[in-house]
């Protein structure tokens, strides 16, 4: 009769836990964040301060900044039609302005 070691049962539990965490990070959390912005988000104008190509697929990323209650926050939006120096509308979560996204992204999601 074999007795299972504690290490073996731990290994059997760790992979499902890692899988659940990955599902949360990749699938559920972004959806929850967008829903927070849709229902409780505040709009403001942001200034695009940099535009650059990222990755190997030709994605153009625009980086923006905005101010809420005298604090500055940043975000990015992948859009080749926006230029450095342009203003865009962003939606931020009032309780945590670092949770933000361009308004168009939130509407299109």
In terms of Cβ atoms closer than 10 Å to its own Cβ (0-12, 13-18, 19+), residue 14 is exposed
In this prediction the pTM is: 0.75
pLDDT higher than 90, residue 17: no
Q: Determine the Cα angle at 40 with ends 63 and 72, to 5°.
A: 35
pLDDT higher than 90, residue 13: no
Place of tokens 């604090």: 71
pLDDT tier at 8 (50, 70, 90 boundaries)? low
Note the pLDDT tens digit of each residue in 54-98: 989 999 999 999 999 999 999 999 999 999 999 999 999 999 999
Q: Determine the Cα angle at 64 with ends 34 and 26, to 5°.
A: 35
Average pLDDT over residues 11-24: 82
Place of tokens 């849709």: 38
57's CB contacts (< 8 A; 6+ apart) are: none
Average pLDDT over residues 101-108: 96
Average pLDDT over residues 7-17: 77
Under 8 Å between Cβ of 107 and 88: no
């Amino acid at each position: 009769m074999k007795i299972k070691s504690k290490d073996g049962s731990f290994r059997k539990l760790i992979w499902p836990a890692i899988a659940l965490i990955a599902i949360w990070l990749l699938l559920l959390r972004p959806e929850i964040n967008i829903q927070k912005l849709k229902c409780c988000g505040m709009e403001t104008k942001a200034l695009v301060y940099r535009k650059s190509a990222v990755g190997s697929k030709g994605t153009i990323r625009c980086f923006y900044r905005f101010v809420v209650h005298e604090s500055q926050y940043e975000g990015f939006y992948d859009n080749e039609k926006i230029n450095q120096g342009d203003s865009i509308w962003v939606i931020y979560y009032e309780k945590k302005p670092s949770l933000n996204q361009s308004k168009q992204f939130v509407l299109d999601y």
